[in-house]
């Protein structure tokens, strides 16, 4: 293994519920109707993808660019107050970075990834948003781009993920996948079985990784 690539939402920041709250509120404010399956459907989508989903599938009366702007602005305000860091996550990334190059491959917009890195100062060699590549998760694009920026073959990378679409994305990229199941939105058990290892919390990751 030559590098470790981390997802952001649900792995390093406890933000999946915040995304859900903000999107639900914006859809309701603009005449849409939330569906039971909407939360899981959007996990891993890039910004253009989930913005279209909110408009075309849930009926929000805005254009996709308009709703994306509103949602991201509200998320940025939440992050400015204090990014919802998962306990121990920053220390884990620092520890892993002492042994291997690390990157972030996230579905969050660039502005939120930057806000997280500005606050934490983590030594990340590359940070990629799915809005910068061809497709969001479960497509492998964001992981493949992160590996490319690190100069490491995808097959030599470990990916750290928490949701079904995230796991599928990293698996499709051909990476060894270390799952930290999201307690609020547990991944599909059949997909979880394909992970190289499953750890209950992010603090268990260093022990699960192979020796450097």
193: Cβ contacts below 8 Å, ≥ 6 apart: none
Is residue 46 domain-shared with residue 101, that is, in the same domain?
A: no
Task: Please count the other Cβ atoms lying within 10 Å of the Cβ belonging to residue 41.
Answer: 16
Is residue 29 domain-shared with residue 130, that is, in the same domain?
A: no
Question: Is the Cα torsion angle 120, 142, 6, 147 positive or negative in sign?
Answer: negative
Range of the domain at 177: 3-14+83-208
Question: For position 3, what pLDDT does the model report?
Answer: 98
Quote the pTM value. Answer: 0.86
Is residue 118 domain-shared with residue 23, that is, in the same domain?
A: no
Is residue 166 domain-shared with residue 128, that is, in the same domain?
A: yes
Token pair in block for residue 57: 């599938």
Is residue 47 domain-shared with residue 108, that is, in the same domain?
A: no
Tally of residues, the chain: 212
| Count of structural domains, the chain | 2
Average pLDDT over residues 181-188: 91
Is residue 158 domain-shared with residue 127, that is, in the same domain?
A: yes
- Summarize pLDDT for 94-138 with one digit per residue, the tens: 999 999 999 999 999 998 999 899 889 999 999 999 989 989 999
- Summarize pLDDT for 130-170 with one digit per residue, the tens: 989 989 999 999 999 999 999 999 999 999 999 999 999 99
Is residue 102 domain-shared with residue 139, that is, in the same domain?
A: yes
Question: For position 201, what pLDDT does the model report?
Answer: 96
CA separation for the pair 105, 81 (Å, rounded): 23
74: Cβ contacts below 8 Å, ≥ 6 apart: 22, 25, 26
Question: For position 184, what pLDDT does the model report?
Answer: 84
- Note if the bond before 138 is cis, omega within 30 degrees: yes
Which domain CATH number covers 20?
1.10.150
Question: Is the confidence at residue 212, as pLDDT, over 80?
Answer: no
Question: For position 78, what pLDDT does the model report?
Answer: 83
Task: Please count the other Cβ atoms lying within 10 Å of the Cβ belonging to residue 179.
Answer: 26
Question: For position 207, what pLDDT does the model report?
Answer: 95
- The neighbouring-strand residues paired with 178 are 160, 197
Is residue 72 domain-shared with residue 23, that is, in the same domain?
A: yes
Token pair in block for residue 45: 């989508």
CA separation for the pair 69, 9 (Å, rounded): 19
Is residue 74 domain-shared with residue 114, that is, in the same domain?
A: no
Average pLDDT over residues 40-67: 94
Is residue 105 domain-shared with residue 169, that is, in the same domain?
A: yes
- Summarize pLDDT for 70-101 with one digit per residue, the tens: 999 999 888 877 778 999 999 999 999 999 99
Is residue 22 domain-shared with residue 43, that is, in the same domain?
A: yes
Among residues 48, 66, 81, which one ends one of the domains? 81
Is residue 97 domain-shared with residue 198, that is, in the same domain?
A: yes
């Amino acid at each position: 293994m030559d590098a470790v690539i981390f997802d952001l939402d649900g792995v390093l920041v406890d933000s999946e519920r915040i995304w859900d709250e903000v999107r639900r509120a914006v859809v309701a404010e603009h005449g849409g109707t939330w569906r039971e399956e909407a939360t899981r459907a959007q996990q891993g989508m890039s910004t253009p993808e989930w913005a279209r989903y909110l408009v075309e599938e849930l009926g929000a009366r805005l254009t996709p660019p308009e709703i994306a702007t509103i949602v991201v602005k509200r998320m940025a305000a939440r992050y400015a107050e204090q990014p919802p860091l998962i306990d121990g996550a920053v220390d884990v990334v620092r520890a892993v970075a002492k042994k291997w190059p690390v990157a972030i491959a996230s579905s969050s917009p660039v502005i939120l990834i930057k806000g997280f890195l500005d606050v934490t100062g983590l030594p990340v060699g590359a940070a990629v948003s799915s809005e910068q590549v061809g497709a969001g998760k479960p497509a492998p694009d964001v992981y493949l781009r992160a590996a490319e920026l690190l100069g490491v073959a995808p097959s030599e990378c470990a990916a750290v993920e928490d949701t079904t679409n995230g796991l599928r994305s990293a698996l499709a990229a051909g990476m060894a996948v270390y799952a930290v199941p999201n307690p609020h939105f547990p991944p599909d058990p059949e997909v979880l079985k394909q992970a190289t290892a499953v750890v209950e919390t992010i603090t268990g990751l260093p022990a699960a990784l192979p020796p450097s």
